[in-house]
Chains A and B, each alone.
Chain A
């Protein structure tokens, strides 16, 4: 029989993504073993993000300043706008250091099965932003699955009247891998998107 406070912590931890009952118990016992200051620091950090982090009013990215560091950076090119599904997708693209434009975070992707329509991911907000700024190209970087594709197409349609260039990330082979390990769908997409050299 687990003591109620411990059981409570385990239960809360299982609500985190990717954490099952066993992992939650291991984490809970670990926290119990460590000095109290560490537990306090963890608790404080959790409360801190909840009180200090909010969505940037321009791009929907998670930020503690308004507008966010990316939107207010004068070195970034405001004529290039990259649209992603989630705030954490920005990190992945930023790691490349190749993209110097600005971002727009949707609040997910279209998914009627989950009851998510255009208004739930604020496509109108994106269209307004493009309308009212000097954007020349919108790069749609939604996920390459059914929902991400439909979302990309919907956005492209909505942007059409604005005569702005709309592009989609390319599908292709992972660099550094061997051809033989590519899955078939990726392979045929890569064939479709082949280019002259």
Chain B
């Protein structure tokens, strides 16, 4: 799929304007804070309605703006579609860390028609690599689960709904446990919720295990192919099976086993990768993982997603990066930023467009053959 152009309104510091892209490679250059990464984020937002930088959607609103709007023309299988995401009512400044604000209105449209989130997310696929984000290695278990979930969803369209069903059943059961603990409900209906939870957990465990397995294999192959010195890194998925812990759970007022406690671990010779690997090595591992995910996506779909590379820096092995990029399917449209132009040379061997940013605006666009 190819993003022909994108238009943003009130999106961070970007000026309200349309930006046209090269079908293959787009290099975004400019000093820090000029809007390069914001444009990448806008592309990501257009595809996912989320940000790859923050879970606080409020920060996407330009200061003082009450709505954000991003639209773009996406070409896929010879059809051009207009996609748009509009958000209204920004959360108040200084609002607590809530992920979403109640009453926040989101309007998703394809070709001017309102569509559901599920239908919208199926329209456009994007993969983002950001050197600044190493949560997969260093972050909390929850972040690693989310990493696995995003991957599972990218190859299994039913996964998001299955996951949502499990989370719903989990919340209901937790509410019931709290009610039982406070003697507001009897335990009579707990069996029914246990069963619902079990049925909802099974497809989540299955999808996660299958994806973790495939990803581990693809990752090992890529690392081996490039002869990277950390070949012994292993990814372990440890599902947390549902267990009967009723009495403890009533006391704790929450469900103590199940997919919400699954673990994903990166281990090098028996030790957590985050403790053993240097920052640069971790960035390379994340990069390899990203390419492994791309590979799995490509096996599942006939199409290549957009690929965003944010903030390429010297800690990445540029030779390997270049090599990885040349092995991407030709149709993969690439968007890359770096504050240091030298790093971008690794990407500019083929036809590309260079977009120069100043003050949130593209001030120059030049094509190279």
A residues whose Cβ falls under 8 Å from a Cβ of B? 110-113, 115, 117-118, 145-147, 149-151, 153-154, 157, 183-185, 187-188
B55 interface residue (CB < 8 Å to A)? no
Contact A150 B172 (CB under 8 A): yes
Closest to A188 in B: B158
Residues in B neighbouring A150, C-beta threshold 8 A: 169, 172, 189, 192-193, 195-196
Contact A115 B179 (CB under 8 A): yes
Mask of B155-177 contacts with A, CB within 8 angstroms, 1/0: 00110011001001101111110
Question: Measured between C-beta atoms, what is the minimum distance from A159 to chain B in Å?
Answer: 12
Kindly identify, within residues 175 to 202 of chain B, every residue whose CB is under 8 Å from any CB belonging to chain A. 175-176, 178-179, 184-186, 188-189, 191-193, 195-196, 199-200
Contact A185 B162 (CB under 8 A): yes
Q: Is the interface of A mostly helix, strand, loop or mixed?
A: helix
> Contacts A112-B176, A146-B200: A154 and B189 contacting too (C-beta < 8 A)?
yes
Residues in B neighbouring A117, C-beta threshold 8 A: 176, 179, 185-186, 189
> Contacts A112-B185, A146-B165: A157 and B192 contacting too (C-beta < 8 A)?
yes
Question: Measured between C-beta atoms, what is the minimum distance from A21 to chain B in Å?
Answer: 13
* Contacts across chains A and B counted by CB atoms under 8 Å: 65
Closest to B157 in A: A184
B277 interface residue (CB < 8 Å to A)? no
Mask of B98-126 contacts with A, CB within 8 angstroms, 1/0: 00000000000000000000100000000
Residues in B neighbouring A112, C-beta threshold 8 A: 172-176, 178-179, 185, 193
Contact B175 A149 (CB under 8 A): no
Q: Beyond the given A112-B174, A150-B172, could you list 11 further A-B residue pairs with CB under 8 A, ordered by the A residue number?
A: A110-B193, A111-B172, A112-B175, A112-B193, A113-B175, A117-B185, A146-B169, A146-B196, A149-B196, A150-B192, A154-B188
Contact A113 B195 (CB under 8 A): no
